[in-house]
Amino acid sequence: MIATSTKKHNFSAGPAILPQSVFEEAAQAILDFNAHGLSILEISHRSKDFEAVMAETEALVREIGSIGERYAVLFLTGGASTQFFMAPMNFLKEGEKAAYVETGTWSSNAIKEARPFGDIEVVASSKERNFTFIPKDFDVPKNAAYLHLTSNNTIYGTQYQKYPASEMPLICDMSSDMFSRPFDIERFAMIYAGAQKNIGPAGVTLVIVRKDWMGRSGRAIPTMLNYKTHADKGSMYNTPPVFPIFVMMLTLRWIKATGGLAAINRRNVEKAKILYDEIDANPCFKGTVEKEDRSLMNVCFLPAKSEFEAPFLEMSAAAGITGIKGHRSAGGFRASIYNALGKESVQVLVEVMRAFAVKHG
């Protein structure tokens, strides 16, 4: 029998779990930042204390991701959804083509938002099979300016295990798996990520962009939507999201202290294996995604019978599990196992699944 619990095991897809130490340090900074008698919520973004936060956050991004000076590191607002149109606005010349791969809701939105700025060609899609796999072995037009990918698909639970071998410059939305595993920045012209999965709270968007690509489109761009504006001003053209950037800094410190991306990836692989092994073995559940494309971040699965859904959610809630109901467009269950979620929480979920099978299997 699974005991009831007051401890919450947070499997939410986002805003998501962050390390406990980050919550504690952030809470203290809200009360008194750097022992100045002021909250982090009220300090000037032009103060020396916050300038130090910005400098450390950028330095940590560069260190953890091995990001060289060829790239600008920007802290913007508006989430990944703003980057859906900001990237083609800045990079696509009038009438130029860009290639996109459609692997889920967010890539579909990126395609829609890019169309006003050029000839957008969807070179591969998994839509016809409800986004249950990552397309492979597709051709990319040689005259395309870039190939746009979504590295991890939060709603449907697929993830690129390898990026396409094409030499085409890549632009990638890494919102839900940023800094969850190593990557080679030199493969990309640009990476963008809403913070609220692995690297901080909602409110700041991390953008890493090749400096020689800024201004590539040649079109007139509103000042706030021009990457060069933010690069030239150190992400402080206007008041930045001070508190989300501070919490990002704390989270990046934690990633570094944990051993960096290689160590984080090992933990994530271990957690995912525990959960996927149970899904494959348990008669009450079934996976939704091709095994070779399964996400290490968002584990999606269905009940073997529709009538299992409500009692399983009830049993999970009694064990302190929250956030596992699947997205409304996909149904079933979704366990998001981001960096800060401990293996012990995954094991609690597995115990509930086994107890459910004893009762209903």
Angle between helices 343-360 and 260-281 (to 10 degrees): 0
Half-sphere exposure of 295 (CA within 13 A, CB side): 35
What pairs with residue 335 in β-bridges? 299
Catalytic residue among 106, 213, 271, 293: 106
- Share of residues in the chain with pLDDT > 90 (%): 95
Tens digit of each residue's pLDDT (9 = 90 or more) over 273-332: 999 999 999 999 999 999 999 999 999 999 999 999 999 999 999 999 999 999 988 889
Whether the predicted pLDDT of 5 surpasses 70: no
Amino acid identity, position 129: R
Catalytic residue among 8, 97, 142, 173: 173
Q: Which residues, including other chains, have CB under 8 Å from residue 163's CB and lie 6 or more apart?
A: 149, 151, 170, 172, 187
Catalytic residue among 197, 213, 254, 293: 197
Peptide bond into 303 cis (omega under 30): no
Distance CA(165)–CA(232), nearest Å, equals 33
What CATH number has the domain spanning 23-258? 3.40.640.10
Stretch(es) of the chain classified as CATH 3.90.1150.10: 260-360
Q: Lowest-confidence range among 1-15, 125-139, 177-191?
A: 1-15
CB atoms within 10 A of CB 347: 15
Distance CA(324)–CA(170), nearest Å, equals 32
Pairing of strands 205-210, 188-194: antiparallel
Q: Which helix (H) or strand (E) holds 170?
A: strand 170-173
CB atoms within 10 A of CB 44: 12
Helix, coil or strand: residue 273: helix
What CATH number has the domain spanning 260-360? 3.90.1150.10
What is the per-residue pLDDT for 24? 96
What is the per-residue pLDDT for 262? 98
pTM over 0.85, yes/no: yes
CA 161 centroid distance within chain:
15
Q: Which helix (H) or strand (E) holds 52?
A: helix 48-65
- Burial-class residue 6 by CB neighbours within 10 Å (0-12, 13-18, 19+): exposed
Known catalytic membership, residue 197:
yes
Q: Which residues, including other chains, have CB under 8 Å from residue 51's CB and lie 6 or more apart?
A: none
What pairs with residue 148 in β-bridges? 100, 171
Known catalytic membership, residue 343:
no
Stretch(es) of the chain classified as CATH 3.40.640.10: 23-258
Half-sphere exposure of 148 (CA within 13 A, CB side): 31
Pull the structure tokens for residue 135.
């397309």
Tens digit of each residue's pLDDT (9 = 90 or more) over 140-183: 999 999 999 999 999 999 999 999 988 899 999 999 999 999 99
Helix, coil or strand: residue 149: strand
Taking alpha carbons only, the member of 111, 219, 106 closest to residue 173 is 106
Tens digit of each residue's pLDDT (9 = 90 or more) over 41-53: 999 999 999 999 9
Q: Are the beta carbons of 135 and 126 closer than 8 angstroms?
A: yes
Tens digit of each residue's pLDDT (9 = 90 or more) over 103-124: 999 999 999 999 999 999 999 9
Known catalytic membership, residue 213:
no
Distance CA(233)–CA(354), nearest Å, equals 54
